[in-house]
Amino acid sequence: MTGASGDLDPATVAVVRNYLNSAATEMQRTLTRTAYNTIIYEIFDFGLSMYDADLRLLADSPGLSLFLGANDFSVRKGVEHVGEENLDPGDVIVLNYPYWNSSHTLDVCLFAPVFLDDELIGYTASRAHWLDLGAKDEGYVLDSTDMHQEGLIFPGTKVYKKGEPDEEILDIIRFNSRIPDKVIGDLNAQIAALRTGADRLRELHEKYGTETVDAAVDRIVEHGERTATEGIEALPDGTWSAVDYVDNDGVTDELVRIEVEVTIDGDAFTFDFSGSSDEVTGPINVPLGRTEAICKFCLKTLTTPEETTNHGHYEPIEIVVPEGNLFNAQYPSPTYTLWASMLAVDVVFKALAKAMPERIPASTGGDICSVMLYGDDPDTGRSFVEANNEAVGWGATDERDGPSALMHYVQTMVRNIPIEVFENKAPVEFDQLSLREDSGGPGERRGGLGVRRDYRLTHPADVLTIIKKTKTAGWGLDGGEPGAKNVVVLDLDDSDASRSDRIQVFADNNDDYPADDREWVGMMRGSFEPGEVVSNRSGGGGGYGDPFDRDPEAVREDVADGYVSREGAREDYGVVIDGGGEVDREATRSVRDEREN
């Protein structure tokens, strides 16, 4: 069993690998069972990781898929800042300095060294979304222009020293949060997860010996790199690029360019973001660690999607992004609203679709469509913050229609908050939760549908929406058309003359929608009164192939299911549905022939 890496029993390697993966899963269970915040225990906005003493990723348990590998950058920077020589058993370090943290200030990374008999054997890390750290605005900052408007910053600070809490640091956190009880509760939950992982890592070394575990890890990492390399070599060589745009930066109303050039050359996979916008005024700038996470996510989905993750899977990645680029934010640029990183995943796939359309679907709805409520609880008077992310439609492929109402790629392990839980936590009732008719992109294979969710306020509260991809459409493939864009519809009290004063709209989309008394918006923040409605309508996936080649019977079924309206069937697919709900064959031929002529 023991010996050099090459002599190690494969069965032992498999046991060690599965033990590590099980330990990461146990860390997740500890976190979700002890967290105070629904964003953690319901939505799964977290990422947990385990490392060896050389900071090689051993196993992880990402709730938010875009956290895949994000902790790698953060822990490395944190250890550099603190100094490995200054780490002691029982230490816990808190890090949220965005340019080292791979995220914004509220996605707080905690990590801890793991020792066995005074020998450093690894690290455990836990990243999770905290509700408030004293940023300039409650809930979420949509228009910061400087990092120092985005809350309390920790560059890598010991919150526990040799197993004992530093009460002065904890007091700083408490007194800089509008919701101190929940923030401290979530911090403790993360520490419990770290200790769970540390206990399991020590048990593994005690059972098999450090020499054997280290040799097994070498084999695991070697296998990860080999399978990732083989996956890349199976893809076509070449260079492809794509462009898309963020609606605005939250401060100015200009579109912000995302450009990605992807190169596959043998066993190398290069992502080049140089063509993207420079840093912008508002908070959509992306730290380098988050850009690494984008690239890791895209590579993993294409090469080793079925394998549990380790350091070796990311070895073939090369990233080109100059300092000061949108995707390599530098101090003090604001980074609070990281929506560009989510859209960038779609742009990478848009580029690759040119080379491998059989592997890549059309675009998704393009966003995670967040709605957040905050204010004072009408029953207790205490502050609350509750948020929900919405599902979108996914793109169609050459073989099948796109799935409807799924979380965006970057959140594919994330969940919605159940209606019953949300209504218990915030002063809101849900009037409607349904698929959004006609939102799927027309095509021979139809794009998946987005979702409509209507929030009706039952007591006064503040609401903000973080919605992008409302100005520019997604894309279909091979003649398919894009799905509907994201939008939020505000149904307000018409008798309230102050409505324009109490609601700040960052992106107004009335020009694209019906001329009525409602406001059709993207990002907004405002104070809402009982009875007023915020209707969140997420985008649909792109279609694949010419819509007029779609089987008329499939269109009839879509109309019967409420996926496509009768008008949409005729206009988008050239299919006429008669009064009895059946395909009018003669009229359909006439409509389709008319377009051909």
- Give me the residues paired with residue 536 across strands: 453, 488
Q: Which residue has the tokens 């008008």?
A: 567
pLDDT digits (tens, 9 = 90+) for 407-424: 998 887 898 999 999 999
Alpha-carbon distance 70 to 76, whole Å? 11
pLDDT value at residue 517: 64
- Within a 13 Å sphere around the CA of 252, how many CA atoms are in the beta-carbon half? 8
17 within 8 A of 216, measured Cβ to Cβ:
yes
pLDDT tens digits, one per residue of 533-561: 999 999 999 999 999 999 999 999 999 99
**Residue reference for tokens 């098999």:** 208
pLDDT at residue 67 in the model: 86
Side chain identity, residue 201: L
- Torsion, Cα 32 37 39 40, to 10 degrees, reads -20
The stretches of 35-69 forming alpha helices (DSSP H) are 38-41
pLDDT of residue 4: 45
DSSP bridge partners of 527: 462
CB neighbour burial string for 422-445, b if at least 16 within 10 angstroms, e if fewer: bbebbbbeeeeeebbbbbbbbbbb
Question: In the chain, how many H helices and how many E strands?
Answer: 14, 21
**What is the structure's pLDDT at 512?**
65
Sequence letter at residue 539: G
Contact assessment for residue 258 and residue 349, using Cβ atoms and an 8 Å cutoff: no
- Sign of torsion over alpha carbons 455, 459, 465, 470: positive
Q: Calculate the alpha carbon distances from 261 to 251, 302, 320, 331, 350 in Å.
A: 28, 16, 9, 25, 10
How far apart (Å, rounded) are the C-alpha atoms in residues 445 and 594? 22
Cα–Cα distance, 341 to 411 (Å, whole number): 12
Which residues of the chain fall short of a pLDDT of 70?
A: 1-6, 497-498, 507-517, 597
* Amino acid of residue 217: V
How far apart are the C-alpha atoms of 64 and 127, rounded to whole Å? Answer: 10
- Nearest one of 40, 153, 44, 43 to 104, comparing CA atoms: 153
- How many other C-beta atoms are found inside a 10 Å radius of the C-beta of residue 578? 13
Task: Give the pLDDT of residue 508.
Answer: 62
Q: What is the pLDDT of residue 1?
A: 43
| pLDDT for the residue numbered 556 | 98
pLDDT at 497: 67
